[in-house]
Amino acid sequence: MRLRQGMRALLCAAALMVASPAFAEDRFAAEGTFDIPAGAHFSPEKLAKIGEFFKKQIADGKIPGAIVLIQQHGKPVYREFFGVRDPDTNQPMTEDTIFRLHSMTKPITSFAAMMLVDEGKLKLDDPVSKYIPSFTSAKVGVEKKLENGEKALQIVAPDKPVTIRDLLLHTSGITYGFYGDSMVRRAYGNAQIYNGDFDNKEFADRIAQLPLEHQPGTLWDYGHSTDILGRVIEVVSGKPLLGFEQQKFLGPLGMKDTGFFVTDKKKEVLLAKPIGWDRDFRTGRQGRPETYRKWESGSGGMLSTLSDYAKFSQMLLNGGEYDGKRYMSAATFKDMTTDHISKESGIARDALYFPGDGFGFGYGFAVRTDAGNAKPSPPGSLGELKWDGASGCYFVIDPKQDFFFILLEQTPSERQRIQRSLKLLVYEALEN
C-alpha cells in the first residue's frame, strides 16, 4: 500500500510531462490549443479533454504513462506523450519508447499470411496439416457428464480439418489455457507448453497434441491460432517469421523497431513498463523482451514504437498501400477486412467474445458491422477495424472518417476502462 501511495506521488509530477519540448513548440500555440491540419475534422477544445483524462489517470496512480496519436487524412491531428515510460527510473515517454504489443501482434501476423494468400502461395481452405504434419492427428475434446455427476473429456475426431481460414478467424478450436475453466482449457494450462527454449515448429507440434476446444469452423474462440499461423508462414516462405515480415513489409514500411526482442542492449532503457503492482500480464509466457528466445510468438510476442505502428495503421487505412507502394491487392484487402463470422456464416461466438457487441471478425481484427445493442450505441463507424492487447495497447482504424488512433500504454489491469474512455473522447472530438 505504501509503495502504491509513493508511486502516486511520483506520477503526479510525471503527469505534467505531456510532450517533448520540441514537439510542444511545434504543435501547440497555447495550453490546450491544437494546430489542427487543414482538412481535419476535430475540435481542439474537445481534444484537450484527452490530455485532462490521461493526466488524471497518472495523478491517481492508475498508469505510469501513455502515448496517444490521432491521424486523419495522412496527417497527425493529435499526438501527446504522457507521464513516464519507466516508473522505476522516471524516464519520460518519448517517440522511441518501445512497447509490448501482446495481441496487437495478431494483425501483423495475419497481414503477413494474407500477403501469401494474395501471392497464391497459400490458400484459405488449405488444411493446416499440409504445412504442419502433426495436425493430421488433431482431435476434439468433448465434455461429457457421467452418471455420477462428474465430467469426463471424450476425445473425438474432427468433422473437418483445421484450415488456414480457421486460424485467421479463431474458429480452429485452438484455445488459450490461462483463462476459462473448461476441461480443454485446463488441459492447455497443465500441459507445460511454454517450457524450455522452443521455436515456432516445436510450439506448433505441442499445440497439435492437445485437444481442440470445439469442432473446427463452428465457434469463434480466442487462442493460439495466430501462433500456429506464424509457423505456417515460416513453412511456406522458408524464412523465420520475423525475417519474412521484415522482408515483405516491416522493412519497406520503415518499421525498424518492430520485432520480438530488444537485441540492442542500449535500447533496453527505452522499454515501457507498468507500475509495479500491475506487472502480471496473465497471458501465458511471453517472457522478458530483453531476453532473446527462439519462440517468435505471432499471437502476442511483438514489440513496437509509435512511429512504427502508425505506419502499419496508415497502410491499413489506405487499403493496403503506403507511400506509393501496394502491399496487398485491393480485392484481398477487402476480403481481409470483411466480417466472416456473421449469423449467415453459421459460426457461433463464445461467451467471452472479445470483438464486442456490434463487431464481426475479419482475417485478423474486429470489423464493425452494426450499432450493437447498447443504448446509446458505442462510438464508431461501420467498417471500423480494431484490436488491442493485454498489455494495454489499442488501435482503431475508421475508413469512413479517414482516420486512425493509437493508444500505447502498459497496464494489464486498467486497459479496458482506459480504452473505452479514450474512444469516447476521440469520437466526441470528431466534427462531422
Number of neighbouring beta carbons within 10 Å of residue 91:
19
Terminus-to-terminus CA distance in the chain, angstroms?
46
- Burial category of 379 from C-beta neighbours within 10 Å (exposed 0-12, middle 13-18, buried 19 and up): middle
**Nearest residue to 351 via CA among 179, 230, 229:** 179
Superfamily covering domain 2-104+241-321+394-429 = DD-peptidase/beta-lactamase superfamily (3.40.710.10)
Helix axes 44-59, 2-14, angle to 10 degrees: 150
Helix and strand counts by DSSP (H, E) for the chain: 13, 18
Per-residue pLDDT of the chain (432 residues), as tens digits, is 444 444 444 444 444 444 433 333 333 333 344 678 888 899 999 999 999 999 999 999 999 999 999 999 999 999 999 999 999 999 999 999 999 999 999 999 999 999 999 999 999 999 999 999 999 999 999 999 888 878 899 999 999 999 999 999 999 999 998 888 899 999 999 999 999 999 999 999 999 999 999 999 999 999 999 999 999 999 999 999 999 999 999 999 999 999 999 989 999 999 999 998 888 766 655 567 878 899 999 999 999 999 999 999 999 999 999 999 999 999 999 999 999 999 999 999 998 899 999 999 999 999 999 999 988 888 999 999 999 999 999 999 999 999 999 999 999 999 999 999 999 999 999 997
Dihedral angle computed from the Cα positions of residues 310, 311, 316 and 319, in that order, rounded to the nearest 10 degrees: 140
Can you give the residue ranges of every domain in the chain?
2-104+241-321+394-429
Number of neighbouring beta carbons within 10 Å of residue 204:
25
**Nearest residue to 53 via CA among 406, 432, 420:** 420
Cα–Cα distance measured from residue 225 to residue 10, given in angstroms and rounded to the nearest whole number: 41
- Burial category of 59 from C-beta neighbours within 10 Å (exposed 0-12, middle 13-18, buried 19 and up): middle
Own/partner pairs, 53-56, CB within 8 angstroms, 24+ separation:
53/421, 53/422, 53/425, 54/15, 54/80, 54/82, 54/83, 55/15, 55/16, 55/18, 55/82, 56/15
What letter represents residue 162's amino acid?
A: V
State the pTM of this model. Answer: 0.91
Cα–Cα distance measured from residue 272 to residue 290, given in angstroms and rounded to the nearest whole number: 12
Cα–Cα distance measured from residue 132 to residue 207, given in angstroms and rounded to the nearest whole number: 11
